[in-house]
Amino acid sequence: GQQLNQSPQSMFIQEGEDVSMNCTSSSIFNTWLWYKQDPGEGPVLLIALYKAGELTSNGRLTAQFGITRKDSFLNISASIPSDVGIYFCALSNDYKLSFGAGTTVTVRA
């Protein structure tokens, strides 16, 4: 699979905070995807990006496809408790996906 570096590995959120995470790849790709996995469930697609520089929103989530086509960012605005879970970036290579290691989001006590 492709080398994907996702950071941070984990983060704590407080309700109302804005948080962000990012992914970088070793190669250029045409499609970046962001998935979320709730505990005990399979991943669900949040946002798909198909063009360098593209900025796409899905509710409080915003993702950007980097100009270099080697990176992507996901921002969550005004966090709420149900934002906890694992967020994965993924690259599409033809019809196969390569996933990053994930960012685990936890609510700060």
Q: Which residues bind another protein (CB under 8 A)?
A: 1, 4, 6, 9, 31, 33, 40-45, 48, 88, 92, 95-102
Angle (nearest 5°) at CA 78 between 71 and 37: 55
Q: What single-letter DSSP state applies at residue 96?
A: E
Nearer CB in complex with another protein: 66/102: 102
> Shortest gap between Cβ of 74 and another protein (angstroms)?
15
Nearer CB in complex with another protein: 13/35: 35
What is the phi/psi pair of residue 41, to 5°? -125, 170
Residue 88: other Cβ atoms inside 10 A = 24
> Shortest gap between Cβ of 56 and another protein (angstroms)?
13
